Structure 1
C-alpha cells in the first residue's frame, strides 16, 4: 500500500489477490510451520507457485506470554500436533482492500481439532486507521478466542435490544440473499466486506446477526470467526442451522451459506425464519 502498487491478480470473477495476500500467507505459514512442523495448514492462496524463501525478518518466533499463562481446557490438553488443522485467510476483504475500505480488512487464522473450530485470531491491520496520517502506520488490533477459555484483545458488547440489525455481504448479493433478509424483516442492514469484519460487528454490539444465504465464502473465512464468536457466547452455522466441519479433507466451500448470531440463544429463531425456497436451493 505504501508503494502504491498492490500487485493485483484476478483469480476468478469477483476474486482478487494482491501482493499483500501472498506476502501475509507466506509469513503466517512459514512462521507456524517453523514452530509447529507437524500441523496441517490450509491457506487461501496457492503456495505451490511461491518458491521464494521467507525473509528472516518476517518470521514470528515469539508467543504472547499472557495467553500461554492461561489454563488449557481439559478437552484440549492431550491434543497431538498432527491433529491440528489451521485455516488461514491472509487478507479477508481483498476487494475492499483494493478500494481503500481498510476497516473491512482482517487477517484470519483459525485452529481446528478434528471437525471443530476451537480457537482463532482476527487481526485488524488497519484498526482506526483514520486516526493516522498514513493507513500503514496504524498499529492494528489483534482479537483472539479459545473454546473453553473466552476471548481477548477487545471488550465484547451486546447490540441494542428492541431492534434487529443484520450484517450481510457488500458485493456478493443475489436473490437468495435478499429473500432471506426480507424474511427476517430487519430494522437495518449493514452491507460490509469480509466475514471477519462481519463477525466483529456482532461481537462489538453493532449487529445482531450475520446472514449470507449463498455459497461463496470458504472454511478459511469462517474457522477463526466461528471459534472466537463461540467463545464470546455467539453461534455460527450454515443457513439451515447445521454446523460446519473443519477437518483436513472437508470441501473448502461453505456451500449452504452462513448464519451467525451474537447470542447463541437467538440462533434458532433466525434459522426458523429462512424461507423454504431458500432452504431448498441451499440444500440442492
Structure 2
C-alpha cells in the first residue's frame, strides 16, 4: 500500500468514504426522519443525509490527506466525531497508476463531493435515482471518480443486499458494473426528470431520439451511459454543478466517453472555478462529436460558457 501512487490512494480512500456514506444514508432512511430543508427553487432540497454524509466524507479524506482541497455541495465542515479510519479499497490499490499521474501532489488535487445526488428523489422514495458522488480533479481536469448507489437492488425485496460502488480512473478503466449492448437502430437520450424547459427539449428533439429517459440525479444519468442503457445525456441548462459532473465525467472518460458543455468545451474543475456548469452538459460513451453537431445554434446562443 505504501508504494502506491498518491492519486490511487486518494481514489482508494474515496471508495471507502463513499461506502461509509452509503451506510449512513441507509441508516437515515430507515430511521424515518429525513430532516428536509427547502433551499429554495424547484425541487431544491437538503436532508440530514446530505449534511451528515458530506461531513463524514470530508473528515475521512482530510484526516488522511490534509492538503487536499475538498469542495462539497453543502459546504459542511468535517465531522470530528466521524470514523476517519475507513481505510482504503484494496481493488483500487491493486491497479497500476498511469505514468502521467504517478507524481501528482496533494496540492494539485481538488475533490468535488455531492454527498447525496438526487435529493428530491430521495425525499420521494425514488431510491434507485440516488447516488453519492466523489470526483477527483488534477490541475483542473477530472481524472478519477466514485459513484455509489446506496439503494442499488432495493426492489429485490426486504432481505436484498443493498448498494454498489462504481469507480474509475482515466488511463486505468472503470469497475463495479456490467455493461450491456444498446438496442440496434435506437437513439436513447437521458435527461432531467424535473428541470426541463424549451432549450432542453429543443436540443433533445434535434437529435431525433427513439426514447427519452427522464431520471433524477446527474450521477444516475451518466450511469445510464456507463451501463449501456442510453446513448447520451443531454441537458441544455445551467442547472447542474461541478460536484454533479466531476466524478461521473472521469468514469465516463475512463471508458472512452466524453462529457462537455453544449459547445463541446471541456469542463474545468480547478480551485476557484465557478460551481455552475453554465453552458449545460452533453455526455456520450461514443460519437460525442455527433451529438455536439446536432445542438441547435439557437440553443448554443442562449447557453454562454
TM-score tier by shorter-chain length is: over 0.9
- Tell me if structure 2 keeps the 8 A contact 1:125–1:141: yes
Partner of 2:280: 257
Summarize the alignment of residues 1-284 of structure 1 with structure 2, pairs less than 5 Å apart.
1-14=29-42, 15-47=44-76, 53-56=80-83, 59-133=84-158, 138-263=161-286, 266-283=287-304
Partner Cα separation in structure 1 for residue 263 and residue 185 of structure 2: 25
CA-based RMSD of the aligned residues comes to 1.4
Q: TM-score, normalised by structure 1?
A: 0.94
Distance apart, 1:157 and its partner CA: 3.2
Question: Cα–Cα, structure 1 residues 181 and 63, in superposed 2: closer, same or farther, change >3 Å?
Answer: same
SS in 1 for 2:302: helix
* Deviations, residues 55-88 of structure 1 (Å, cap 9, x unaligned): 33xx343111121121110010111111110000
Partner Cα separation in structure 1 for residue 200 and residue 282 of structure 2: 11
- Tell me if structure 2 keeps the 8 A contact 1:39–1:84: yes
Partner Cα separation in structure 1 for residue 192 and residue 131 of structure 2: 15
SS in 1 for 2:30: coil
SS in 1 for 2:245: helix
SS in 2 for 1:202: helix
- Tell me if structure 1 keeps the 8 A contact 2:59–2:79: no
- Tell me if structure 2 keeps the 8 A contact 1:127–1:141: yes
- Tell me if structure 2 keeps the 8 A contact 1:236–1:258: yes
Partner Cα separation in structure 2 for residue 69 and residue 109 of structure 1: 20
Partner Cα separation in structure 2 for residue 52 and residue 145 of structure 1: 27
Distance apart, 1:4 and its partner CA: 1.5
Task: Say how many residue pairs are matched.
Answer: 276
Q: Provide structure 1 residue ranges, at least 5 long, that are not aligned to the other structure.
A: none
Q: TM-score, normalised by structure 2?
A: 0.87
SS in 1 for 2:75: coil
Distance apart, 1:51 and its partner CA: 7.8
SS in 2 for 1:216: coil
* Deviations, residues 185-213 of structure 1 (Å, cap 9, x unaligned): 10000000000000111111110000000
SS in 2 for 1:283: coil
Distance apart, 1:170 and its partner CA: 0.1
TM superposition outliers: structure 1 runs of 4+ over 6 Å: none
